[in-house]
Amino acid sequence: MTPPTPPSSVRPVDYKGEPLDSERGPGLGCFRFQVVVLVVLVVLTPLTVAWDWPVEISIVLLIATLVLLLFAGQTVIFLLRLVASDRREGRRVPLAGATPTVGELEDVPPAPGDAGDAADGGGAGPKAEGRSPDDAGVRE
């Protein structure tokens, strides 16, 4: 029998009563489309009044703007929860990073000869300049 795993301090992010699943919700492309249509409606709705279009068209555009604003807001909430869920799972390595991250540098154990240099600020102390440690605080 396997020993029980200790409870995790990080609980999964819930969305509509279930653990968040990025495959089941709207994506970033859907959000971008909603924002583009919303911007068009926000600009076009007041212009219909200025151009003396029929009142019914202005009313329909205003209602469509409000409904789309509701959907875009819900999509933003979903995407923010998705980002929060990704951050809770731990740090990810950048995809295009050719150099190691700070966390990767901190995880590497120091070499045996580098133990004193790390405390000096990376070798810029008196040892690097050929002075004794006694006159480390004296500047000329």
Answer yes or no: is 112 within a domain: no
Residue 121's CB is within 10 A of a number of other CB atoms, namely: 9
Answer yes or no: is 14 within a domain: no
Contacting residues for 86 by C-beta, under 8 A, at least 6 apart: 92
- Tell me the residue type at 109: P
Answer yes or no: is 126 within a domain: no
Answer yes or no: is 4 within a domain: no
Place of tokens 């690097």: 128
Q: How far apart are CA 64 and CA 7, in angstroms?
A: 46
Cα angle value 9/27/98 (rounded, 5°): 70
- Tell me the residue type at 10: V
pLDDT tens, the chain, 140 aa long: 665 655 554 556 666 677 666 666 677 788 889 999 999 999 999 999 999 999 999 999 999 999 999 999 998 888 888 777 766 665 555 666 677 777 777 778 887 776 555 555 555 545 555 555 555 556 55
Domain enclosing residue 87, as ranges: 27-92
- Number of compact structural domains in the chain: 1
Answer yes or no: is 21 within a domain: no
Answer yes or no: is 80 within a domain: yes
Answer yes or no: is 124 within a domain: no
